[in-house]
Chain A
Amino acid sequence: MPEVKTSRFKSESVKALANDNIQRALGAPFAHFVDGRKSAIDADYTEESWESMRDRAAATKAHTIERLDYYLDLVDKNVRRNGGHVHFANDSTHANQIVLDIARQNDVKTVIKSKSMVSEEMGINDVLEKNGITPVETDLGEYIIQLAKETPFHLIAPAVHKTKGQVSDLFEKFLDSAPTDDIEKLCIIARDVLRDNFAKADMGISGANFIVAETGTVVLVTNEGNGRMTTSAPRIHVAISGMEKLLPSIEDVGLFLRLLPRSATGQRITSYNSFISGPRASTDEDGPEEFHLILVDNGRLNLLKDETLREALSCIRCGACLNHCPVYRKVGGHAYGWVYPGPIGAIVSPMLTGLKEGKDLPYASTLCGSCRDVCPVKIDLPKLLLDMRHKIVKSGGGTMPERLGIGQWHNAMKTRKKLEGKVRLGRFLQGAVARKGIIKRLPLPVVNGWTKSRDFPALAPRSFAEIWRDDLSGGDRS
């Protein structure tokens, strides 16, 4: 599992704000996603029909997650019936071990991978390398961050923060290629390397966008065609997925194939939609001889036990909530400190890796609600973030100044009399810093960050309640 750095959100976000490359990457490409999503939806649907699709998707997901045991059994049975193998992994170590065992039994030297977020959770590339097996990412973005030894910056655009110059430098360093700022040339360099690996790899590892329980089918959605190569060229195909990716029936898939690309990139359909049901059949001309499906828990079953937060398991990793999040759009993906960034990451990362370390993440939101409005499966992200904040406070995770502040507030707001007492004290104390109703510098720790960039208003000389009493009530007091 990659190192969990969720506790460094605050310092990393400040660094990201000062990083020109990151700031540039967060501009135009994301505006493109946001605008593209809107036009793709507007082109084909009325607001009502899009809403009703989201409702159906949310209901389908909720149904499946509530009956996860049943559907896991079903998928197990059907993948086996198709001639594949199913493995259940408790955590990332277990999942890595399963992959290693399959690789060793088959004398695997090179593994090609198409994009899989769960394999990022597992940190599988490191594990394979340590065991003498070469993993090669074949999604171009993933390949770039593999060379750079980074985690994805975004769910569907993992290397969006890299400039062409940085990519050229990486290629020069690792592939011995001549420097170039021509994007097409960079693509050709990558393609040549990847082609060789497609030809020689013994094992292909993919993720799964959806797994159909009723047919034992893994559905893969990609734009580069690398997913299809990964799952068909090598002798062995291993699909790795979180346990929550199930859909009951093949008839459910169409709905999600309409929702996912529009929400993610603004495409009406993704370039490649692969349906994989087991290894090559005796009548097939090609395809892998062996098919394995590894279903990974890694904290998900714990999340499932939580009646509020289990909603997060409906996520189809489209990235729309990131693209529309004002916070993500300023700090980017790495500040979140683990595999999943943005609003959904602020929920999932702490829940899978530890709420204590990740306790800043649920607070890293203005609760503006944009994420909830665009989520194709209608996850109420602000509600879940608020629930996590409550859990953090309940488990004693609130900071000391915060507890003091809230304590003061709580006390003041209990009755009008108490409030007025505190306000009188506040008016007296602010005399030292307030000029003409403005505070330019709050001299208190914790809140002093406010006035570094913004003026703060002083308490008014008379509260509205006093003005009402004296001037407005006309004797009508209640």
Chain B
Amino acid sequence: MRVALCATCLVDQFFPEVGEATVKVLRHLGVDVAFPEAQTCCGQIGFNGGYRKEAADVARHFVETFEPYDHIVAPSGSCSSMIKVYYPELFADDPDMLERATAVGEKTHEFSDFIVNVLGVTEVGGVSTGLVTYHDACHLLRELGISEEPRTLIQNTRGVELQEMPKSDACCGFGGLFSVKFPEISTAILNEKVGNIEETGASTLVANDCGCLMQIRGALQRKGSKVRPKHIAELLAEGLD
């Protein structure tokens, strides 16, 4: 089984430690991880902005890069949903690409989805400490329907207790371009999320998407909060050799 890691552009350039943790967990679970070095981005930024021509170029490059593999794993629900749900939309008028993109989409899995539903693993074996609260990233939850898998993996991490926050499924206000175009609204939504996170008394916030994490971390850091944001891969990698 050849498993290709799609690092996602955010992890690749801003949060490489998340990529390292992803590799560590997958290897620990016996996965033969490959990293196709030609990869760049899934194209979501352009697609969400309405720039479909540009997005299609980037997405085509993605499909060409990843189609030789059996599985593609991405530490992001948002990128996974772009590939699985929106590539067919993007290539609706290009039958050849539509077929290839759909095939790639079927082999693409978000990280926690892959571990639980493809590998059949519900306990990774790491050890961490403290109270953890989990934020449901919108695309992971509502495009891909994944909410139990990450919770199971968190709960089955030794030393960790999961404390649900109020409205864990409420958006963090990131929305990519939205956070730049409407920073005031984005911040107002974010502040509510941060309030809900802090209400739990958790020391760690876990999410499966670096978009949400970038947004939430931005506010936590700015206000000097003690809550540490972590990608789920980082939490699961703790205590693994």
Q: List 21 A-B contacts (CB under 8 A).
A: A331-B185, A360-B181, A365-B175, A365-B178, A368-B142, A390-B52, A394-B50, A406-B46, A406-B49, A409-B45, A415-B38, A416-B40, A453-B183, A453-B219, A455-B221, A457-B218, A464-B7, A468-B19, A472-B20, A472-B23, A472-B35
Q: Mark A458-469, 1 if CB is under 8 A from B, else 0.
A: 111011110111
Q: Mark B173-200, 1 if CB is under 8 A from A, else 0.
A: 1111111111111111110000000000
Residues of A within 8 A of B190 (CB): 453-454
Q: Mark A431-466, 1 if CB is under 8 A from B, else 0.
A: 000000010000000110110111111111011110
Report how far A370 CA is from B185 CA in the complex, Å: 17
Closest to B189 in A: A326
The answer to whether the Cβ of A473 comes within 8 Å of any Cβ in the partner chain is: yes
Which of B188, B214, B221 has the most A CB atoms < 10 Å from its CB? B188
The answer to whether the Cβ of B9 comes within 8 Å of any Cβ in the partner chain is: yes
Would you call B37 and A389 a contact (CB within 8 A)?
no
Would you call B58 and A452 a contact (CB within 8 A)?
no
The answer to whether the Cβ of A327 comes within 8 Å of any Cβ in the partner chain is: yes
The answer to whether the Cβ of B125 comes within 8 Å of any Cβ in the partner chain is: no
Residues of A within 8 A of B237 (CB): none
From residue A436, how far is it (CB to closest CB) to chain B in Å? Answer: 10
> Which residues of A in the span 65-120 have a Cβ within 8 Å of any Cβ on B?
none
Residues of B within 8 A of A406 (CB): 45-46, 49, 51, 54
The answer to whether the Cβ of B138 comes within 8 Å of any Cβ in the partner chain is: yes
The answer to whether the Cβ of A373 comes within 8 Å of any Cβ in the partner chain is: yes
The answer to whether the Cβ of A10 comes within 8 Å of any Cβ in the partner chain is: yes
Q: Mark B25-42, 1 if CB is under 8 A from A, else 0.
A: 000000000111111110
Would you call B217 and A455 a contact (CB within 8 A)?
yes
Report how far A386 CA is from B219 CA in the complex, Å: 28
Would you call B37 and A367 a contact (CB within 8 A)?
no
Would you call A463 and B12 a contact (CB within 8 A)?
yes
Given A402-B177, A456-B214, A468-B19, 18 other A-B residues pairs in contact with their CB atoms under 8 A: A17-B184, A386-B48, A389-B48, A389-B50, A390-B50, A392-B50, A393-B51, A406-B45, A410-B58, A413-B9, A450-B218, A453-B218, A454-B218, A455-B222, A459-B14, A460-B15, A478-B4, A478-B34
Q: Which of B19, B38, B41, B174 contacts A464 (CB 8 A)?
A: B19
Residues of A within 8 A of B171 (CB): 326, 366, 368, 370
> Which residues of A in the span 125-143 have a Cβ within 8 Å of any Cβ on B?
none
Would you call A413 and B41 a contact (CB within 8 A)?
yes
Would you call A372 and B20 a contact (CB within 8 A)?
no
Residues of A within 8 A of B218 (CB): 450, 453-457
Q: 3 closest pairs, A vs B, by CB?
A: A366-B175, A454-B218, A389-B50
Residues of B within 8 A of A185 (CB): none
Total count of chain A residues near the partner, CB < 8 A: 67
Would you call B50 and A398 a contact (CB within 8 A)?
yes
The answer to whether the Cβ of B57 comes within 8 Å of any Cβ in the partner chain is: yes
Closest to B81 in A: A369
From residue A283, how far is it (CB to closest CB) to chain B in Å? Answer: 54
Report how far A365 CA is from B178 CA in the complex, Å: 7
> Which residues of B in the span 44-78 have a Cβ within 8 Å of any Cβ on A?
45-52, 54, 57-58, 61
The answer to whether the Cβ of A190 comes within 8 Å of any Cβ in the partner chain is: no
Would you call B217 and A369 a contact (CB within 8 A)?
no
Residues of A within 8 A of B49 (CB): 389, 393, 398, 402, 406
Tell me whether A453 and B187 are in contact in the complex, defined as CB-CB below 8 angstroms, given that A462-B16, A464-B11 are known contacts.
yes
Q: Which of A13, A402, A413, A446 contacts B185 (CB 8 A)?
A: A13
The answer to whether the Cβ of B149 comes within 8 Å of any Cβ in the partner chain is: no
Closest to A362 in B: B50
The answer to whether the Cβ of A257 comes within 8 Å of any Cβ in the partner chain is: no
Residues of A within 8 A of B219 (CB): 453-454
By size class, the interface of chain B is: 35 or more
The answer to whether the Cβ of A477 comes within 8 Å of any Cβ in the partner chain is: yes
Residues of A within 8 A of B150 (CB): none
Would you call B175 and A367 a contact (CB within 8 A)?
yes
The answer to whether the Cβ of A272 comes within 8 Å of any Cβ in the partner chain is: no
Would you call B183 and A450 a contact (CB within 8 A)?
yes
Q: Mark B77-116, 1 if CB is under 8 A from A, else 0.
A: 0000000001001000000000000000000000000000
Report how far A14 CA is from B37 CA in the complex, Å: 43
Report how far A370 CA is from B189 CA in the complex, Å: 14
From residue B115, how far is it (CB to closest CB) to chain A in Å? Answer: 19
Tell me whether A414 and B7 are in contact in the complex, defined as CB-CB below 8 angstroms, given that A366-B175, A469-B37, A478-B35 are known contacts.
no
Report how far A365 CA is from B138 CA in the complex, Å: 12
Closest to B184 in A: A14
Would you call B184 and A449 a contact (CB within 8 A)?
yes
Closest to A437 in B: B14
Would you call B45 and A450 a contact (CB within 8 A)?
no
Residues of A within 8 A of B58 (CB): 410, 413-414
Residues of B within 8 A of A452 (CB): 183, 187
The answer to whether the Cβ of B123 comes within 8 Å of any Cβ in the partner chain is: no
Closest to B52 in A: A390
Residues of B within 8 A of A367 (CB): 48, 138-139, 175-176, 178
Q: Which of B19, B37, B138, B177 contacts A368 (CB 8 A)?
A: B138
Would you call A454 and B34 a contact (CB within 8 A)?
no
Residues of A within 8 A of B178 (CB): 363-367
Report how far A462 CA is from B14 CA in the complex, Å: 9
Would you call A410 and B40 a contact (CB within 8 A)?
no
The answer to whether the Cβ of B43 comes within 8 Å of any Cβ in the partner chain is: yes
The answer to whether the Cβ of A284 comes within 8 Å of any Cβ in the partner chain is: no
Report how far A323 CA is from B194 CA in the complex, Å: 21
> Which residues of A in the span 398-418 have a Cβ within 8 Å of any Cβ on B?
398, 402, 406-407, 409-410, 412-416
From residue A122, how far is it (CB to closest CB) to chain B in Å? Answer: 30
The answer to whether the Cβ of A419 comes within 8 Å of any Cβ in the partner chain is: yes
Tell me whether A383 and B89 are in contact in the complex, defined as CB-CB below 8 angstroms, given that A368-B171, A398-B51 are known contacts.
yes
